């Protein structure tokens, strides 16, 4: 895990999202302990704000995000959603999925290291664009 400490930017969350994410991550411990623990660690270090004080370029639940996977150089656009709204075919990813958990709270231009996939491989993701709504 020490590889991840090199690139862990500040993330921003609103208080309500923090509460919901904490509950979801706690509930996810049984079925996805790795993702759940990393999400809990991420939200515990977040800069918490009132919903009206979240800048427009912060990835929140409902945001459309374009990110680049540094390993492949490929960019992908997804919408980060609550688990019950997830639909991979429609590019709607759950906030408690590995990629969703990595992106939540980041701002345009930020880069983060994250574990992705079955092999728990560290990947570097860069947020290229954020659109709200």
What pLDDT sits at residue 120? 62
What pTM was computed for the model?
0.85
For residues 2 and 23, what is the distance between their CA atoms, to the nearest angstrom?
Answer: 26
Mean pLDDT by 10 residues, the chain (133 residues): 55 92 89 83 90 94 96 95 96 91 93 72 90 90
**Domains delineated in the chain:** 2-131 (3.10.50.30)
User: What residue has token string 């993702």?
Assistant: 35
Give the burial class of 68: count Cβ atoms within 10 A of its Cβ; 0-12 exposed, 13-18 middle, 19 or more buried. middle
């Amino acid at each position: 895990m020490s590889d991840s400490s090199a690139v862990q930017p500040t993330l921003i969350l609103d208080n309500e999202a923090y509460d919901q994410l904490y509950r979801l991550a706690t509930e996810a411990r049984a079925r996805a302990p790795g993702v759940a623990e990393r999400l809990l660690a991420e939200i515990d270090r977040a800069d918490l704000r009132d919903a009206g004080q979240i800048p427009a370029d912060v990835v929140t639940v409902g945001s459309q995000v374009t990110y680049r996977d540094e390993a492949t150089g490929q960019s992908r656009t997804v919408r980060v959603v609550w688990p019950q709204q997830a639909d991979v075919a429609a590019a709607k990813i759950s906030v408690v999925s590995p990629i969703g958990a990595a992106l939540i709270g980041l701002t345009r231009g930020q880069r983060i290291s994250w574990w992705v996939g079955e092999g728990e491989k560290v990947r570097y993701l860069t947020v290229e664009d954020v659109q709200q709504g």
